[in-house]
Amino acid sequence: MNRLDFEGRHAVITGGATGLGFAIAQRLLDSGGSVTLWDRDLAAAEAAAQRLGANAKAIAVDVSDAAGVAKAVQATLALRDAGGVVDALVNSAGITGPNTSVDNYPVDAWRQVINVNLTGTFLCCREWVPHLRERPWARIVNIASVAGKEGNPNASAYSASKAGVIALTKSLGKELSGTGVRVNSVTPAAVKTAIFDQMSKEHIAFMLSKIPMGRFGTPEEIASMVAWLCTEDCAFSTGATFDLSGGRATY
């Protein structure tokens, strides 16, 4: 594994207690940085931070709650050393919702998926941008999905939410293009994490059948790309979408 340069930098990672968020945190720590894990499950976040070591902290936050996100920003800054700053935001928190057709999709479940995946990403960006904009350079990376490009059957809310994340990334990237903030997204195909527990076996098999490489991605593969997008080396890309789909998406 090559060592990326995140030396002395700090990242906030939503959904950081498990799955992709945890893998991204580990890669950024291995690259010389420190992290704050945001997760709605404080016990899980604290346990994850303990496993990651002294350079990881944990804060409980529901990313779909505007007041809670604003409070978590202040709590995160308070955890930093005097004058400490945040250099990167990785929006990884997400849920899948049920696997069913549009005409059977529960309205409450639709709202929950949109609130967590899309509105949560918006709220975190909204609260962190004023801070990040003051930095000489800063990075925002949003975890979208190949489903946001193609639309998966029986996953309409998830697909719609991730399409929204891609569009939000493009808009915000353009808004901040005159600053030191770069805003990008990644679009993984299915990655075998605990989120699979929210999906039907049929839907998991469908997703695998669409990947030309014939396997699921690994959290470490996603973390490698995300970590690079958090570094100063990613200097001329903003509002962009980076494919991590094993050949499924070609645009």
Residues above pLDDT 90, as percent of the chain: 82
Q: In what order do the strands lie in the sheet containing 10-14?
A: 56-60, 34-39, 10-14, 88-91, 138-143, 181-188, 240-244
- Which pLDDT band holds residue 181 (cuts at 50, 70, 90)? very high
Taking CA atoms, 211 is separated from 25, 80, 169, 198, 248, in Å, by: 26, 42, 25, 20, 5
pLDDT computed for residue 81 by the predictor: 67
**Domain locations in the chain?**
10-244
Q: What is the pTM of this model?
A: 0.94
Those residues whose C-beta lies under 8 Å from the C-beta of residue 130, and which sit 6 or more positions away, are none
Q: Report the residue count for the chain.
A: 251
- Establish whether 251 is a catalytic residue: no
Contacts of 167 (CB under 8 A, 6+ apart): none
Query: What six digits make up the tokens of 238?
Result: 């903003």
Collapse the DSSP code of 72 into the 3-class scheme (helix H, G, I; strand E, B; otherwise coil) and give the result: helix
Is domain 10-244 in CATH 2.40.50.140, yes or no? no
| Catalytic residue selected from 105, 128, 158, 216 | 158
Average pLDDT value for the chain: 94
| Confidence grade of residue 202 (pLDDT, cut at 50, 70, 90) | confident
More confident residue, 216 or 131: 131
- Residue-wise pLDDT tens digits, 68-127: 999 999 999 998 765 679 999 999 999 999 999 999 999 999 999 999 999 999 999 999
Average pLDDT estimate for 31-57: 97
- What is the residue type of 71? K
Q: Strand 181-188 to strand 88-91: parallel, antiparallel, or no bridges (unpaired)?
A: unpaired
Band of the pLDDT at 203, cuts 50, 70, 90? Answer: confident
How far is CA 173 from each of CA 145, 194, 204, rounded to the nearest angstrom?
A: 18, 30, 32
**Interacting residues of 107 by C-beta distance below 8 A, sequence separation 6+:** none
